[in-house]
Structure 1
Amino acid sequence: MPVDAPMPGSYGVRIPPWLAAEQATLPARITDRTERMRMVNRIAARNVEEGTGGPFAALVLDSDTGDVVSAGVNLVLSANVASAHAEVVALSLAQTRVGDWNLGTDPARPRALVGNAQPCVMCLGTLIWSGVKALDFSVPGFEVERITGFDEGPVPADWREQLEKRGIAVDTGLLQEECSTVLEDFRSRVAAGTITLYNGG
């Protein structure tokens, strides 16, 4: 941006057209945990193929019914916004849809965040304050860093205990090999020079 450009008064993130079309085909309810993770991983792979961001996707669902509230992908590259990680996008879209920053306002409708990779330090803070009551992810952070070269930030060693202390249940590791494949494809594209590496998941 030129230094003489006026200071902006707003910013925003808009999902790409392919994701809008994808959202229209998502089932309204996904009760099976494996099906949820496979759906997230498929969207993450599509994000890389479309060139709109990194190999990450997330869903926000009703924990009990499986009703899908929102779907998000990493949009750092297409939006030029460093905080546009998949988890932040999915949580923000969910908050917009329900009209409340606190997704845990109604105890009868606990909500879960499902992602194909462990949240980075930024996304960890975001999910804590979002009001979700469960986190389900596949690939652990150290593997994300090893495979992709991303810096996931100073995630505390006791992150799981910190979430559970705040009433957020944690499940991990489902379909890890399948989800890792999408990360490895991303790494191959970076090595080939078809995708630019940036910091964070």
Structure 2
Amino acid sequence: MMKVAIALSEKNSLIEKTGGPFGTAIFEVDTETGKCKLFSIGINQVVPLGNSTLHGEMTAIQFGQKKLNSYTFGINKPSGKEYHLYTSCEPCCQCLGGTLWSGVTKLVCAARKEDAEMIGFKEGPVFKESYEALESAGVKVVRNILREEGARVLKQYGEIGVIY
């Protein structure tokens, strides 16, 4: 599942050169069977669309909630559906807030905040307490999944892309 998020990041930023190096995939999980399916994707569109809020996580959340016709992924909890957000890099402060309010029950991250900041991105005030707030709200947090692959895309983008 993380490979989908990283592939989105790589395609958007390095192959197609249509946005920044951040990709997100949200999967719908059937809690009874454990089966999951890709539900929503998001790519960073800040520069091409001139909108500072269009990060990969935010676009995936927006498209997914529109698909559900709801402001929250929590709407399907009674029916045995959960939504897990996989992102190619740990979220910035905006995307952590969006994740907290989105209703997803799991956040899985590849590259670290430090990897994004090494190429010049400013991730804002992200603290240990940010992740603790997610966990206390019922969001399981998993970090460093395929970190090297996510960081590789960031590093390559840092050599050719716009850092904002």
Task: Point out the structure with the larger strand share.
Answer: 2
Task: Point out the structure with the larger helix share.
Answer: 2
Residues 1-12 of structure 1 correspond to what in structure 2 (within 5 A)? none
Tell me the CA shift for residue 156 of structure 1. 2.5
Q: Deviations over 1:129-155 (max 9, x none)?
A: 111111001111122211x21000011
**Number of residue equivalences:** 157
Q: Which runs of 5+ in 2 are unaligned?
A: none
Q: Which runs of 5+ in 1 are unaligned?
A: 1-35, 190-194
1:77 aligns with 2:47: yes
CA distance in 1, matches of 2:53, 2:144: 25
CA distance in 2, matches of 1:66, 1:115: 16
Larger Rg: 1
- Superposition TM-score, scaled by structure 2 size: 0.91
Among candidates 150, 153, 157, match of residue 182 of structure 1? 153
1:155 partner amino acid: V
Tell me the CA shift for residue 54 of structure 1. 0.7
CA distance in 2, matches of 1:42, 1:88: 17
Identity of aligned residues (%): 30
CA distance in 1, matches of 2:155, 2:93: 21
- Aligned CA-pair RMSD: 1.1
Larger RCO, structure (CA 8 Å, separation 6 or more): 2
- Runs of 4+ aligned residues of structure 1 deviating over 2 Å after TM superposition are none
- Superposition TM-score, scaled by structure 1 size: 0.75
Tell me the CA shift for residue 56 of structure 1. 0.6
Residues 127-142 of structure 1 correspond to what in structure 2 (within 5 A)? 127-142=99-114
Matched residue, 1:112: 84
